[in-house]
Amino acid sequence: MHLVTWNVGTASPPPDVTSLLQLNSLSPTMDMYVIGLQEVNSRITNFLSDLAFDDPWSIFFMTVLSPLGYIKVIVHIFSVTAGKENVCPDTSLEMTVLYLLQLSSVRMQGLLLLVFVKHAHLPFIRDVHTHYTRTGLYGYWGNKGGVTVRMSLYGHTICFINCHLPAHMENTEQRLDDFEKILEMQFEEENIPSTLDHDVLFWFGDLNFRIADYGIHFVRESINNKRFNLLWEKDQLNMAKKKEAFLQEFIEGPLQFKPTYKFDLHSDVYDTSEKKRKPAWTDRILWRVKSLCQRASKEDEFSEEEQTISVTLNNYISHMSYGISDHKPVTGTFGLELKPLLSEPLVTLSPEGEWSAEHDVLLSYSAVPGFPSSAWDWIGLFKVTFRHANDYVTYAWVEDDEISSNKDGKQVYMSAAEIPDVGGEFLLGYYSNNLQSIVGISQPFQVIYLEALII
């Protein structure tokens, strides 16, 4: 898993993020990308096919990652027209959903949290939910707070919190109070664990902790000499971890990179303005593993077998070449080793026979016993480079378009008029309304080019 935090200072995306996302051929292929941005320009000007934010940054990362086989995980959406929570391809609902999302972007402006996964993992990511928490004076600081995404990954619960905490040297206590408030928030849905009850919790963002006591000249000299260790003990977050019990459960890699704030734009030179801000490690990534906390509290009662998930930090670095804002992005690459509690998808599906726009086509699917199907469930036909659950070419309602059913499974048809005549490589995905996610995906298959059939 590759995790990014970046305060982009309302700037537009850079021309290239190859190094930021470690997309060079020497890097191992990631299974998941988690991207947390702060100070994103909150004026949403374009609504395209995606029912979630189609801001320039979301579009940018989808454009980069989708051709490589990564899908943006669609999150919780509420539609008043439907009278229920759903993501569905009914175009009569689309503008209502977009309008609601535009309102929410104003309410939690400036924070964006994106999660991308490889195709193969999609059926094992379930129960995706989001929440936002505004902090500050009665919640009126609209660009400070936290955005949270939680999910079940192969049966294990994982939570991501992207934060932008209050600035300035003197506001350490306010930062800690705000983070505690974010941790205490509860998801509205029933049977969702509290934030700290997730198996793994990642906390990251522009946390705004500063380097206390030392003067700017000592700090800069230590940085120039790469003696970062001289500054660690006066880092406000490190100092707080020694005093605050709830912070001691969070782990962070060593700060072996330059402080990431504050730089002149488009340079690697620290602030030369009249204010001459003292450099600081404001941009951080921490994590918490619930089983390790239980082990610490139970001591001898905790067995190794109880630890079904572990987190290993492979690297923790900043990226000095990016200069669109006064912060440098920070990334952490993690290995998540887990014992899958889920080994089979809820739905297995495949195309039947030859597919082309010359005739109606069939697909078959079967679900595991007890699967919570719904009249709102649908099966989408997707290009193999699809970006998110609503990026389908066409779809079929599983109940309305069903033509046969038996103990081995069911058959559904799609009209020839909706099959692309240009052909190409596609796959099928089953979207569960109750679980708010794609719970089954087929192997890629070919739709035959119609003109080739005629010839």
**285-320 pLDDT, tens digit each:** 999 999 888 766 655 454 555 568 999 999 999 999
Look at 142 and 364; give whichever has higher pLDDT: 364
Percent of the chain with pLDDT strictly greater than 70? 83
Residue ranges of domains in the chain, CATH in brackets: 2-338 (3.60.10.10), 347-454 (2.60.40.2840)
Q: 347-352 and 330-338: which strand pairing? A: unpaired
Global confidence as pTM: 0.87
**40-88 pLDDT, tens digit each:** 886 543 333 334 446 789 889 999 999 999 999 853 322 222 233 333 3
Mean pLDDT score of the chain = 85
Q: CB pairs under 8 A, 24+ apart, for 43-49? A: 44/102, 44/105, 47/98, 47/102, 49/390, 49/391
What is the Cα–Cα distance from 321 to 317, expressed in whole angstroms? 12
Look at 81 and 3; give whichever has higher pLDDT: 3
Query: What Cα–Cα distance (Å) separates residue 222 from each residue in 83, 225, 226, 229, 253?
Result: 59, 5, 6, 9, 20
